[in-house]
């Protein structure tokens, strides 16, 4: 019995941009150091509505002397995230995690490319930070493509600036950076990236991942973080299925929560 449901206390919850919140939670010291790409299931202590816990990626993590603290970056899209947005300092949340067996793998390649759509920046920027600070990868090796509908949706750029030497910003409406889809901006540069010496990491809406799969052949190492609705978060209900190829190339359903959420792009079966 190694894992537990942790009682976390909100120490800060700030609307950093309209509908985008950065929440800091203090957790007991037993909480295990997360790997980039892992997530938590969060719910408001003592509240059974919304009924299910919500999966949120770990945006940052630090360990103090007597406790840990974790930041979650989230966007208000419905009931659960609206309630999370309303939490104030001192509110209690129940957190299980870190969850997910599939996380981002430390690259051997010389070029490291991140592609994020909107809130998809959350797990990727933690990964960029870890690569810089823990594996000592130079920021010059790291390129970050960030896309959003408009300038308002570009969040978390400050942190990315700290760790990535090259940043390409795109918006659908042209209100900041290039007026293009982030995948299109990446595709323009694709020739620059030798498949043998490039590792690509992506997180964003499904159409973005799908577009990537259309432009990258299997030679490229590309990991993506996927999302599905979840109930248990630990692999028990098989509710969060995604279609993947198995070792023999046959279609099989994998669990985003436990087999993922990070998978290899080439393994995804597009239904």
Ligand X SMILES: Cc1cc2nc3c(=O)[nH]c(=O)nc-3n(C[C@H](O)[C@H](O)[C@H](O)COP(=O)(O)OP(=O)(O)OC[C@H]3O[C@@H](n4cnc5c(N)ncnc54)[C@H](O)[C@@H]3O)c2cc1C
Chain residues that interact with ligand X, rule: CB under 6 A:
39, 50, 54-57, 73-75, 77-81, 119, 122, 227-230, 256, 261
For another protein, which residue of 122, 142, 224, 232 counts as binding (CB under 8 A)? 232
Cβ distance to ligand FMN smaller for residue 96 or 143: 96
User: How do 67-75 and 142-148 pair as beta strands?
Assistant: unpaired
Is residue 50 part of the contact set for another protein (CB under 8 A)?
yes
Size of the site for another protein (CB under 8 A): 35
Is residue 235 part of the contact set for ligand FES (CB under 6 A)?
yes
Which tokens hold the place of 101? Answer: 């067996």
Span 96-155, contacts to ligand FES by CB under 6 A:
none
CA 109/CA 221 separation, integer angstroms: 9
Strand partners, 99: 39
For ligand FES, which residue of 56, 122, 230, 262 counts as binding (CB under 6 A)? 230
Is residue 239 part of the contact set for ligand FES (CB under 6 A)?
yes
Is residue 253 part of the contact set for ligand FMN (CB under 6 A)?
no
Question: Which residue number is nearest to ligand FMN in terms of Cβ?
Answer: 237
Closest CA to 226 of 247, 253, 246, 249: 253
For another protein, which residue of 7, 17, 19, 52 counts as binding (CB under 8 A)? 52
Span 76-135, contacts to another protein by CB under 8 A:
94, 96
Task: Give the single-character DSSP code of 268.
Answer: B
Sign of CA dihedral 168, 208, 132, 162: positive
Angle value at C-alpha 87, between 118 and 119, nearest 5 degrees? 5
Name residue, tokens 């019995």. Answer: 1
Instruction: Note the residues at the interface with ligand FES (CB under 6 A).
Output: 230-233, 235-240, 255, 257
């Amino acid at each position: 019995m190694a894992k537990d449901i942790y009682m976390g206390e909100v120490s800060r919850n700030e609307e950093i941009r309209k509908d985008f919140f950065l929440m800091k939670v203090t957790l007991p010291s037993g909480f295990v150091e997360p790997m980039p790409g892992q997530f938590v299931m969060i719910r408001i202590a003592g509240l059974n509505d919304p009924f299910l816990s919500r999966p949120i990626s770990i945006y940052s993590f630090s360990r103090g002397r007597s406790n840990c603290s974790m930041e979650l970056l989230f966007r208000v899209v419905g009931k659960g995230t609206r309630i999370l947005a309303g939490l104030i300092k001192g509110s209690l949340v129940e957190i299980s995690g870190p969850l997910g067996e599939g996380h981002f793998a430390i690259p051997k390649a010389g070029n490291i490319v991140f592609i994020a759509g909107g809130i998809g920046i959350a797990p990727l920027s933690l990964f960029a930070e870890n690569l810089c600070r823990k594996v000592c990868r130079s920021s010059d090796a790291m390129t970050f493509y960030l896309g959003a509908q408009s300038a308002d949706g570009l969040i978390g750029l400050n942190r990315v600036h700290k760790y990535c030497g090259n940043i390409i910003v795109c918006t659908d409406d042209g209100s900041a950076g290039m007026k293009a889809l982030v995948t299109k901006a990446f595709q323009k540069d694709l020739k620059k990236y030798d498949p043998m010496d490039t590792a690509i990491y992506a997180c964003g809406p499904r159409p973005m991942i799908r577009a990537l799969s259309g432009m990258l052949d299997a030679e490229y190492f590309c990991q993506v973080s996927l999302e599905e609705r979840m109930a248990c978060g630990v692999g028990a209900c098989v509710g969060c299925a995604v279609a993947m190829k198995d070792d023999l190339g046959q279609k099989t359903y994998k669990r985003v929560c436990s087999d993922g959420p990070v998978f290899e792009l080439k393994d995804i079966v597009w239904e």
